[in-house]
Every structure is written in C-alpha cells, then in structure tokens.
Amino acid sequence: MPRTSTRLTFAVLATGAGVFSMLQSLIAPALPTVQHALHASQSTATWVMTAYLLSASVFTPILGRVGDMAGRKRTLVAVLLTVTLGCLLAALAPDIGVLIVARVIQGAGGALFPLSFGIIRDEFAPAEVSGSISNLSAVIAAGGGVGMVAAGPIVSALDYRWLFWIPVAVVAITTLIALRFVPESSHRAEGRINWHGAVLLSAWLVALLLPLSQASRWGWGSARVIGLFAAAVVLFALWLLGEARSRTPLIDLRVMRLPAVWTTNAAALLFGAGMYAIWTFLPGFVQTPPSAGYGFGASVTESGLLMLPMLVAMFVSGMLSGRLEPVVGAKALLTAGAALGAFGCGFLTLWHDRQWQVALVAGVFGFGIGLAFASMANLIVGSVPAEQTGAATGMNANIRTIGGSIGAAVTGVLVTGRLQPSGLPYDAGYTHGFGLLALLCLAAALAALLVPVRRAGRPTGAPRAPEEPVHAEPEAAAQGARG
C-alpha cells in the first residue's frame, strides 16, 4: 500500500512533468522575440529548440534506466534540480550561446516522464495505477498546449525571460516537496549502468535527429546531412549489437520485442510524426497574412487562442481515458486517438479557410492526443516488468519524439518546397502537408490495431506472481526480460 498520500505524490509528479512539457512548446512562439533581444541570427536562434530536442532525446531513456537501478525518487529530485538550474540560467542568459546551454540542461527533464510512471506503478494501489497514468498523461499532453497558449500573453505583459522565471519558482517548490514527501521506490533493477550503451544510444540519436532538424537549412543533399544519416545507421547497428551482448543492457531488447511494446512503439512513432508537425505548422498557418491567399494574420496571442480548443480537449480526453480504459481497453483508446488525428488532418486538408474550421480541428486533434498519450503509457507500463518501467516508457517517449522530428522535417519540405515571391509558402504546400499528416495518423491507427489485447483479470500495474509470464510470452522470455 502507498506509504504517503498518493494525491500529494501525484501532484508533485504532475507539476514536474507538466512544466517540462510546457517548456517544450513555450519558447517556440516567442523565438523571433528571443532572436531580436539577444541579437542572434535566425539559424542560431533555431538551436534554442534543437538543443532542447537533442538533450531530451538523450536523457529521457538513460535517466529513466538510472531511476530503475538507482532509485526513482533520488533520480527524480536530481532531475528537478537540474531543470531548475537550466531555467534559472535561461532567465539570466546574457547571450544566445548561454541560452542554448541552458536549454541543453533543461532537456534532462525529459526523464520526468518515465520516472513519474515508474513511481506511480511502485507506490499506488494496483486499482489506481491505470487511472493515475491516464491523468498524468493528460497533464503532460496539456502542458504542451499550455505553452502554445501562454507564450504570447506572458511575453506581451512581462518579458520573454519570464517564460523561464515562472518555471524556476514552480519547479524549485516542487523539488522541495518531492524531497520531503515522495517515497523511494521499492523496485530496483539489478546490475550496473551500461555506460557504453548510453554513449552509443546518445550518439545515434544525435546523428539522426540533428540532420532532421537542420536539413532545411543545410540542404537534404548536403554532405553533412548524408554523412550524419549514414553515421546514425552505423551507430544504431553498433548499439543494437552491444545491447544484445551485454549482461546489463541499458535498454533490454527482449522487452522491446514484446508484442504489446513494439506495436505500441510503432503507433507512437507514426502518431508522434503527425502530432508534433501539427504543433509546429498550424500556428504558422494561422499567422500567415491573408495576402498570401490563406491564413488569418493572427498575432502570437491570437494563434495561441485558436489552439485553446486543443488544450482543453487534450486535458478532458486524458482524464476520461482513465475511466474508459477498464471498459474498452487501452488498445481501443489508442486506435481511436490516432483515428481522430487522421480525421482532423483530413478535414484540414479540405477545409481551412475559416477560423472556426481550424479551431474545430484543434479540438478534435487534441481529443485524440489525450486518448493516445494515456493509452500508450498504460500499454507500456502494463506490459513490462516493474524494474524495466523507466527504460521502456522512456524509449516510448523517445520514439514519439523521433517520429515528431521526422514528421516535422518532411512536412517542412512540403510546406516550404515552393515559395511565393513574398517568401511565404503557397497554400498547396500546407494542403499537401496536412494530407501527409492525415496518412501518418491513419497508419498509427492501423499499427494500434496490431497491439495484443491484454488479458482480463489483473489491473494494470498489479504485481505479477513469479511464475506469471509477461502477457502471452513464454516464461523464459519474461524471465530474460527481467534479467
């Protein structure tokens, strides 16, 4: 049974994860303001986003595994302190270089997602695990929406530095409460941290994500992009080989091969591609002046308000999924969430000349995001041994981010491939981009249909008897996954 108030523990976890999620999108609408204030070029300013993406991708699975082995509370507190330091440094940054370093430090907060899921699984009563994971996923999803909506008013009323001062105060208080009240995990993975695997994982992730984020500036056919993609393939192969041979792998590949895990991760990759691209390009679409033949000439604040239906829908559907999951199952919710994303993008492909149409799609897509986030987390947590929770959920979040980078890069090619004399994209570019995102979300729904149905009779997160296999896997495979 829980050793302290689960409500207080959940509040701490939700605050930390929500702030990190908000930091992902909070700075994007204010990037031109930051660029001007710090006298940086546009290409340099984009590293404020790129550095954060790369850092979070590296730290999320690695620190998730560290928490599995060294203790999740201890790692959680260390990560919260790191995020506080990163936000403080960003708020005080005298130039763009220091701000980029601060964003790298903030990226360590990506580990808050797997650490939080692991603590919920460890400390909450079995009957509460599924609903709590769904609620936390709703907060994580809504955090990104809060960033898009809040950035404009904060910058207008205060200053862009307050985008970081506010998180400093919130995360610092959260850290103190976590240190005092969050219990330490009882489940620990055996062995030691495989730092060789961590270095290779970091290397192939950076080699993959860096050219995806910079290809529009470097050129898809440039030596840098092609060379980094080739390096990513080689490093990924070396990482797989090393993890397969290691007695204490950083990411247990046997767990990644479990049917419920790999199918959920496939859906996460595809849905992440659609979701992050919508977050990236829809605000730019509504801010385009009508003289381009489309768009509404919205300000940063106005475009954030058009995204408000997405924020509300994400939070509501995430909360509802906790009640729906025991009735219809996480597989059905993931399929429905991806299908709603496909419907929203398909609608936007055909109709996007009225603001209410954009607001409607934002709400529909947001409802899908809430369902998908919650169900993916529950599917992973309910499919892996307790001592693998951090690593497995960290990789799921990472795969979603990789999908997002791919989706944003490919959509960017379609949107900016042909420009008007004014330098603005043609309407057809956005139309083709939205059509692609609809297909990606539809593919995610099809991948979700491959997820095995969980056996009835045991709540998600309930302790397994030693002889019980992980889902329908043979006992030897389950025991191997634990080792």
How much is the CA Rg of the chain, to the nearest whole Å?
21
Q: Given pLDDT bands bounded at 50, 70 and 90, which one contains residue 218?
A: confident
Q: What pLDDT sits at residue 483? A: 37
pLDDT tens, position by position, 112-162: 988 998 899 888 888 888 889 888 888 887 887 788 788 888 888 888 899
What's the predicted TM-score (pTM) here? Answer: 0.81
The distance of Cα 452 from the centroid of its chain, to the nearest Å, equals 23
* Per-residue three-class SS string for 408-434: HHHHHHHHHCCECCCCCECHHHHHHHH
pLDDT tens, position by position, 313-362: 988 888 888 888 888 989 999 999 999 999 999 999 999 999 999 999 99
pLDDT tens, position by position, 428-460: 999 999 999 999 999 999 999 999 976 544 444
Q: Given pLDDT bands bounded at 50, 70 and 90, which one contains residue 69?
A: confident
pLDDT tens, position by position, 368-414: 998 998 899 889 988 888 778 888 888 888 898 888 888 888 888 88
pLDDT tens, position by position, 293-307: 999 998 878 887 888
Angle between helices 389-416 and 47-70 (to 10 degrees): 170
- All structural domains of the chain, each given as residue ranges with its CATH number in brackets, are 6-193+248-482 (1.20.1250.20), 194-247 (no CATH)
* Cβ neighbours of 7 (radius 10 Å): 10
- Give dist(CA 455, CA 474) in Å, integer: 15
464: left (phi over 0), alpha (psi -120 to 50) or beta: beta
